[in-house]
Amino acid sequence: MPPTIQAQLALIAWFPIVLYLFMRFPPQRAVIISFVVAWLFLPQRAAFILPGIPDYDKLSATCYGILLATLIYDAQRITSFKLGWLDLPMLTWSIAPFLSSISNGLGWYDGVSNALNQTVSYGLPYFLGRIYLNNLPGLRKLAVAIFIGGLVYAPLCLFESRMSPQLHFMVYGYHGIRQFGQGVRLGGFRPSVFMQHGLSVGMWMMAATLIGIWLWQSKVLKKLWGIPMSVLVAFLAISFVMVKSTGAYIYLGYGVLTMLVAKWMRTALPILFLTVSLFFYFYQNALTETYITDQAVTFLSEVLPQERIESLVYRFDNEEILVDKARERVVFGWGGYGRNRVYDSEGNDITTTDSLWIIAFGINGLVGLTAITCSLLLPTASFCLSGFPISSWLKPKVAPAAVLGVVVTLYMLDCSLNNQPNPIYTLTSGGIAGLVMQGSAISRTKTATTRTKTATTRTKTATTRGKRPRRSVGRRSTHRQRQHQPN
């Protein structure tokens, strides 16, 4: 069913709403509200085709509106931006489609068009995070907003888990998910609300629940709307269970384990181990013919139901076929138009691409895979290893940024199995990258100031010492003259 008039009106109305939010709230808060509300409630599969730029849809509606509002009300944010070393992976990921098109002879127009699409989908949210959320107070507001977003979605998830995914149809007149059968899971229904898939809802509710637990335990929030955090977190956790997303359950468990290890053992080993493991997994599967998926299936078969194991085996089998095809264009990939997929002798597509990593590797090659992986993992890894020691992760000032870093890392873990874009995680990655680089700049400034003060002190000391010896030399010279006077 094509998008209805109410879906199109919602997209059109959102643009002036974003401008109003910038007039009503401080820019940082307006950015956060715009991203969260848009991603939670704007319609799926509705778009306006625009000449020369990416289509105006759910994702771009927010980015276009915020970018225009920034130019009108807060232009100094853009002019003050300085490219840093942590920005290079996202910059590479944004231009990777152009490199892929040129290397495959698809032409510069195709390359520019695909690069613009990728920039709007990933580069713009990252950039807005860099310029607006590059400090601890900004990341705290974002963490609280995600938690509130989870609380708002909780009753909607409970409704759909009982009545089936119907809210998108009730509001916009058509179903947001492409296959209604994917909303059936574990003897009941899996909510999708206003997102593209139940997996997206599961990841969102996982993030909101983990953030709620972390904010509660670190005493960032003791009450919200006059309700104790313990009650809110318990309600959110129950709602999260009803989402029926097995992978998200595992992610939440790993996130809570990271928090407990940070609290009791004062080490970031779980999140660093996960980061290294993801890099190793992508390298092993992309560049060698030794696949570790069989070992993963054997291990997970002891803890997951048979239905989930069969789904994993199907995905891994398809990935092996797609990886063999991707290695034929290993550096820049195959480019667009489905050239990364595998077809039979009659031209039928015989593969399924589920995960972001295999899509990135097949279309944009090793350059694209490395870029998207580093853009999501390096900011959090740098946060762990820079000026935010693990002992501060449960302190109210640092805890929101720490849990957001864990969420982004878990999202990258999910991207090894699924492809569920969410610009809020990219926005978060940009904010953490800005925080790390800003902290490094402050540290360098303090070091330079300290060195300058030290040098000044040494100069003054040397000057003072230089005056004293002349007086003492004069005294010793007079004494020597007296000694050599004849009797």
Tokens 């704007």 found at: 42
Beta bridge partners of 224: 227
Domain ranges of the chain: 1-80, 81-443
pLDDT of residue 244: 87
Distance in angstroms (rounded) separating the CA atoms of residues 347 and 349: 6
Sign of the dihedral through C-alpha 235, 149, 242, 162: positive
Which residues contact residue 316 at a Cβ distance below 8 angstroms, ignoring those fewer than 6 apart?
Answer: 291, 293, 294, 296, 297
pLDDT of residue 347: 83
Q: Which of 398, 434, 28, 30 is closest to 215 using CA atoms?
A: 398
pLDDT of residue 480: 46
Q: What is the residue-level pLDDT of the chain in tens, covering all 487 positions?
A: 568 899 999 999 998 999 999 999 999 999 999 999 999 999 998 888 887 788 889 988 888 989 999 999 888 999 889 999 999 999 999 999 999 999 999 999 999 999 999 999 999 999 999 999 999 999 999 999 999 999 999 999 999 988 889 999 999 999 888 777 676 776 778 899 999 988 999 999 999 999 999 999 999 999 999 999 999 999 999 999 999 888 899 999 999 999 999 889 888 899 999 999 999 989 888 888 776 666 677 766 766 667 777 777 777 888 888 998 999 999 999 998 889 999 888 888 888 888 999 999 999 999 999 999 999 999 999 998 887 888 889 999 999 999 999 999 999 999 998 999 999 999 999 999 999 998 755 545 444 455 555 656 666 666 666 555 444 444 444 444 444 444 4
Q: Which of 128, 133, 111, 7 is closest to 69 using CA atoms?
A: 128
Distance in angstroms (rounded) separating the CA atoms of residues 330 and 332: 6
pLDDT of residue 475: 46
pLDDT of residue 478: 47
Distance in angstroms (rounded) separating the CA atoms of residues 48 and 35: 19
* Neighbour count for residue 401 (Cβ, 10 Å): 27
Residue range 161-189, pLDDT digits in tens: 888 899 999 999 998 887 776 767 767 78
In a 3-state reduction of DSSP, which class is residue 95? helix
